């Protein structure tokens, strides 16, 4: 689904990603862990198309397309979704209205006809139930006055509405209480098919008790330095990152 080769990226002249390689296939769940400042959100931002970063080397293939050639909205229309670590508040823009615009722009891009109001409302009901998002929140201004946990739940609600091929969840678990964590994880699991894939960026193996990853990667200093199965998350939880830093082969 996505193949990242030798990705180098910098911001304001400062290199952040330093030769990152990652391949994710349809049907897989990948977890990316790593210390603060390692470059995890940078990777997520670059995949989503944030323009502040300079890509100095490398390539990204997304289902046969050169991802770096696509605009932010084209990536979304091709099925890429980022659940933001810090979702922004947009007072005055209603959550459901903007999602309706988004869905219809995506449909238009695919040459499909617009979704009817009725169909759309049914989808809203269905998907807000999936993540147990209060329907009042669904129709309020985007994230305005939402609690930290509600914002994260709203991200998963949007993901459910847009049904992406590749979802990247950047610390969606942080700020969630135990119940919300279970609900969000349950939502992600229910959306999982053998046609789509998920990249989960997290600091805690707790989330991975609910969403079982096929691979766990450690991103350190701009590179994936270790990849293993789900047991790696447990090991990291126990030992921290120092042993990986020490063992890191250049």
Partner 1 sequence: MEQSTKASLQSFRSNLSAAKLALPSVLIANNEGDLSLMDFPTSRHEAWKYTRLSRLAKIQLESTIAAPIDWEDFNMVKDAYTFVFQNTTCIYISNDLPDGLSIKIGDEIATTDWLSSINESHVAKLNVAHAQNGCLINIAKGIQVDKPIQIIYITDGPKQPNFWRNQLNIEVGAKANIHIGYFSKDAIDSYSNVHWSVFLKENSHLIMTKIQNDGEANFHFSTENISQLKDSNFTLNTVTLNGAFVRNDVLVHVEGENCETHLNGAYIMKENQHVDNHTTVDHIFPNCNSYELYKGVMDDKSTAVFNGKVFVRPNAQKINAFQSNANVLLSDDATINSKPELEIYADDVKCSHGSTTGQLDLEAVFYLRSRGISETEARSMVVAAFMTDVLSKVASNDLKSYIYQQLAARFNLHLQGED
Ligand X SMILES: Nc1ncnc2c1ncn2[C@@H]1O[C@H](COP(=O)(O)OP(=O)(O)OP(=O)(O)O)[C@@H](O)[C@H]1O
Q: Can you tell me the distance from the alpha carbon of 62 to that of 64, in angstroms, rounded to the nearest whole number?
A: 5
Report what 37 binds from Mg ion, partner 1, ligand X, none; CB cut-off 5-8 Å by kind. Answer: ligand X
Pairing of β 223-228 and β 215-220: antiparallel
Helix axes 117-130, 148-162, angle to 10 degrees: 130
Task: Give the number of residues in contact with ligand X, rule: CB under 6 A.
Answer: 12
Binding site for partner 1 (CB under 8 A): 48-50, 71-73, 75-77, 81-82, 84, 87-88, 90-94, 97-99, 101-103, 105-106, 109, 141-142, 158, 162
Q: Is 177 in the site for ligand X (CB under 6 A)?
A: no
Q: Is the dihedral of CA 233, 34, 78, 58 positive or negative?
A: negative
Nearer to Mg ion, 85 or 198 (CB): 85
- Contact at 8 Å (CB) between 65 and 78? yes
Q: Is 205 in the site for ligand X (CB under 6 A)?
A: no
How many CA atoms are closer than 13 Å to the CA of 171, on its beta-carbon side? 17
Nearer to Mg ion, 41 or 95 (CB): 41
**Least Cβ distance, residue 27 to ligand X (angstroms):** 26
**Least Cβ distance, residue 50 to ligand X (angstroms):** 10
Q: Is 37 in the site for ligand X (CB under 6 A)?
A: yes
Sole binder of ligand X in the list 4, 24, 31, 40 (CB under 6 A): 40
Q: What proportions of the chain, in percent to the nearest 5, are helix, strand and coil?
A: 40, 30, 30
Q: Can you tell me the distance from the alpha carbon of 61 to that of 98, in angstroms, rounded to the nearest whole number?
A: 29
Nearer to Mg ion, 124 or 199 (CB): 199
Cα distances from 7 to residues 11, 90, 163, 200, in angstroms, run 14, 32, 27, 19
Q: Is 240 in the site for ligand X (CB under 6 A)?
A: no
Q: Is 51 in the site for ligand X (CB under 6 A)?
A: no
Q: Is 36 in the site for ligand X (CB under 6 A)?
A: yes
Nearer to ligand X, 213 or 222 (CB): 222
Judge residue 69's burial from the number of C-beta atoms within 10 Å of its C-beta, 0-12 exposed, 13-18 middle, 19 or more buried.
exposed
**Least Cβ distance, residue 2 to ligand X (angstroms):** 18
Per CB under 6 A, residues contacting ligand X are 11-12, 14, 16, 34, 36-42
């Amino acid at each position: 689904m996505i193949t990242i080769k030798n990705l180098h990226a910098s911001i304001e002249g400062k290199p952040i990603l330093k030769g990152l390689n990652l391949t994710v296939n349809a049907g897989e769940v990948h977890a990316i862990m790593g210390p603060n400042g390692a470059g995890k959100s940078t990777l997520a931002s670059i995949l989503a198309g944030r323009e502040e970063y300079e890509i100095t080397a490398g390539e990204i293939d997304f289902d046969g397309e050169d991802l770096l050639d696509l605009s932010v909205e084209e990536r979304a229309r091709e099925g890429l979704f980022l659940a933001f670590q810090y979702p922004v508040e947009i007072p005055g823009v209603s959550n459901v209205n903007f999602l309706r615009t988004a869905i219809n722009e995506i449909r238009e891009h695919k040459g499909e006809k617009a979704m009817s109001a009725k169909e759309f409302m049914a989808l809203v009901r269905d998907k807000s139930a999936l993540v147990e998002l209060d329907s009042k929140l669904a129709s309020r201004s985007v994230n305005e006055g939402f609690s930290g946990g509600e914002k994260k739940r709203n991200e998963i609600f949007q993901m459910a509405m847009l049904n992406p091929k590749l979802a990247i969840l950047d610390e969606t678990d942080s700020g969630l209480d135990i119940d919300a964590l279970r609900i969000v994880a349950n939502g992600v699991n229910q959306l999982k098919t053998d046609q789509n894939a998920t990249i989960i960026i997290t600091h805690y193996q707790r989330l991975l008790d609910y969403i079982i990853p096929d691979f766990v990667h450690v991103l350190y200093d701009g590179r994936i330095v270790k990849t293993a199965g789900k047991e790696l998350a447990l090991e990291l939880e126990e030992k921290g990152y120092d042993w990986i830093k020490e063992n890191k082969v250049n």
